[in-house]
Structure 1
Amino acid sequence: MHTTSRRTFLALTGLSALAVAGCGTASGSGVRNTRTLRYQGSAGAVSPAELAAALGHLEDLELKWVGNTISGPQDIQSAASGQTDFGGAFNGAVVKLAARKAPIKAVVSYYGTDKDTFNGFYVTEDSPIRSPRDLLGKKVGMNTLGAHHEAMLDIYLKQHGLSRAESERVERIVIPPVNTEQSLRRGQIEVGVLGGILRDKALDAGGVRKLFSDYDLRGAFSAGTYVFTERFIEQNPETVRTFVTGVGKALDWSRTTPRDEVVARLTEIVEKRGRNESTDPLKYWRSYGVSAPGGRIAAKELTVWNDWLSDRGDVKPGQADIDELYTNEFNDAATKGR
């Protein structure tokens, strides 16, 4: 997840739809079955798409890096407006963009939550917070509002019987992930969301305990998808098929290959691409969190966020057609069909 305010999140998803509706040209290069896909990356990380390219699963497709993304919503806006050919984001952002009538389609999952890769809501060891109701009036620090972490908090509170009015009494604070642990230990917030390397380092230091995690709430699930515009798919179906199948194969490889071997390959990829990045975070890599074979998309992975956005009033019931929002048609790495 990336840092952006809820206002930025809503603005990006709304503006991207206007851009697509206004110009109607969000089709990538416009060449049928193009062999070059423009995309945005992340510093010090290797996406499933980049791994697929390194493993040779994209065949003769070339990924053209055009810079690093600042957030998931920004990444899919870039794809929707034709600045890149594909983008990836939290499924709630995908639903929100589709609700604004942007003609996008999710084609393969690329990150998620499992027993090894999850985001936890942590308190200090001596904190009096033990239950959902203890959160009333407390500050919860997270990297983004209106996205995955806030959704998990709302779901946690709702599952334990708190009303919407009570839930709103829990204060959500935007804090950069690198500052979350420090803010928690200093008492600037009572709860902090930690994942990945930041979670592991905090636990190694001691003095914090988990209140709950997204894995505790929902088990293993895919949380984000890659999207193309419908027009790009129509003009480049075989390119999309090669890309989606390749990403699916890379995800399966990462899940079935010994972790040390995966980390070594990811480290090699970062070192070879020459972007002046640190490979240190890769030492803490555990998984992409995608357990579905080939990154296959399940409807429930979109409907859960659609329901959450509807509860918040961010989208109207039925505003996003989930059945039309995703497809597994191009995924030859997984069982075909919806």
Structure 2
Amino acid sequence: MTKSRILPAHSRRTFLTGAASVLTLSALGMVPPLRAQGAPTTIRYATGGATGPNEMETLIFTDWMQKNVLQGYGRDYLVDMTYTRGTPEAGTLLAAGEADMGTLSFSVFANSIIKETVPGGIKVVADSSREGQPGYHAASFYVLEGSPIKTTEDLRGKRIGINAFGSAVDLMLRAKLAKDGIDPRKDVQIVEVTFANHAAALRAGRIDLGVIILPFWADEIPTGDFRLLFDSSDAFGTFATIFHVATNKFLAEHPAAVRAFLADYVRGLQWFYDPANREKAIALCAELTRASPEKLSYFMTNHDYYRDPNACVSAELIQRPIDGMVEHGFLAQNINVADHFDASYLPGACTA
């Protein structure tokens, strides 16, 4: 009755994708009935490698939200969601024609445009989260509290963990190192470690520097075992880290489904931000992440990553880190983000 796709060794949730599934569950009162004129469009969505609360689509399109908050799900569109290890894998699925929409980092997005990996191209259609926003959390790189590493200069010859080569975290790290005169290709060893294992890898001495992101940050930092070395704002200032994209082919063929999807995304985002829903929002996040509600006190506060409540993002905020990649030699050529950007599918107008 249900279908989901997942790349190996990752958590799993099931999202309805077939008209038969919806008809069966509709009879039980679990989802809205289909439109008379035919089955809703299925959107094959590739996540960027994290689950809620980092990538809000993984929370917004869960079963409870479909039944109680979302208005277009099951009527105007369905979601077939694939969980990946990181945005490079999401980019691969888009390129292979196995996803219609996805969460990409600025680095994967730029390379996809330059190399023309996605047939017909892609466009940015909405915000996901932002780094370096004053007063909000940022992806942070840590050493052990007792480590002799005090500055980036001390990283020469050391092992550094990132989640996936080519990911936003990887590029933030490389840009910061390059700014400080460290060649990330020659002076350090960069290795892939899943986000959930960075703290353990630091304690075990398998890496000397790791990135501890939310929600793991909320568990690990209070232990006092780790010391901050730098964060994402040291690389690019304030910038768009990851965002929603859609293939131009899908936008041309199913614009109404994309608009309905994004309308529900914004509706869900604002539901999670509403103080009146705080208790239930924490409970949903705890259920998905298997974290205790107490550990999620930061969720959707200024201790969390910044998200525009209307899912608006500007081309300039995406252009900023891409310009930095070119400056530090990580891209052979630049792109004009505005040529691959369209916020018109969002339910409200964006001012910037």
Report if TM-score (shorter chain) is over 0.5: yes
The counterpart of 2:337, out of the listed 286, 310, 322, is 322
> Which residue pairs with 1:58 in the alignment?
72
> Which residue pairs with 1:85 in the alignment?
100
Give, in whole Å, the separation in 1 of the partners of 2:218 and 2:233.
16
Q: 1:256 to 1:112 in 2, by over 3 A?
A: farther
Q: Which SS does the other structure have where 2:348 is aligned?
A: coil
Shift of 1:87: 1.4
Shift of 1:225: 1.4
Whether 1:246 and 2:264 are equivalent positions in the alignment is: yes
Shift of 1:38: 2.6
Whether 1:229 and 2:237 are equivalent positions in the alignment is: no
Normalised by the size of structure 2, how large is the TM-score?
0.71
Shift of 1:246: 2.5
> Which residue pairs with 1:35 in the alignment?
41
> Which residue pairs with 1:154 in the alignment?
174
Give, in whole Å, the separation in 2 of the partners of 1:183 and 1:334.
44
Moved more, 169-178 or 50-59: 50-59
Q: 1:130 to 1:260 in 2, by over 3 A?
A: farther
Q: 1:317 to 1:44 in 2, by over 3 A?
A: closer
Matches for 1:168-247 after TM superposition, within 5 Å: 168-215=186-233, 221-247=239-265
Cα RMSD (Å): 3.4
Q: Which SS does the other structure have where 1:156 is aligned?
A: helix
Higher relative contact order at CA 8 Å, sep ≥6: structure 1 or structure 2?
1
Shift of 1:255: 3.3
Moved more, 283-292 or 225-234: 283-292
Shift of 1:112: 3.4
Q: Which 4+ stretches in 1 moved above 6 angstroms?
A: none
Shift of 1:218: 5.2
Give the counterpart letter for 1:37 in structure 2. I
Give the counterpart letter for 1:302 in structure 2. I
Whether 1:261 and 2:280 are equivalent positions in the alignment is: yes
Number of equivalent positions? 298
Indicate conservation of the 8 Å contact 1:36/1:63, yes or no.
Answer: yes
Indicate conservation of the 8 Å contact 1:33/1:235, yes or no.
Answer: no
Task: Tell me the alpha carbon deviations over residues 82-134 of structure 1, each in whole angstroms, 9 at most, x when there is no partner.
Answer: 32321112121111111112311110122333555432111122222222222
The counterpart of 1:48, out of the listed 39, 44, 56, is 56
Task: Tell me the alpha carbon deviations over residues 17-69 of structure 1, each in whole angstroms, 9 at most, x when there is no partner.
Answer: xxxxxxxxxxxxxxx99533233467864753354442215353333335433
Larger proportion of helix: 1
Matches for 1:110-189 after TM superposition, within 5 Å: 110-113=128-131, 115=135, 117-160=137-180, 162=181, 165=183, 168-189=186-207
Give, in whole Å, the separation in 2 of the partners of 1:178 and 1:50.
17
Matched-pair identity in %: 22
Normalised by the size of structure 1, how large is the TM-score?
0.74
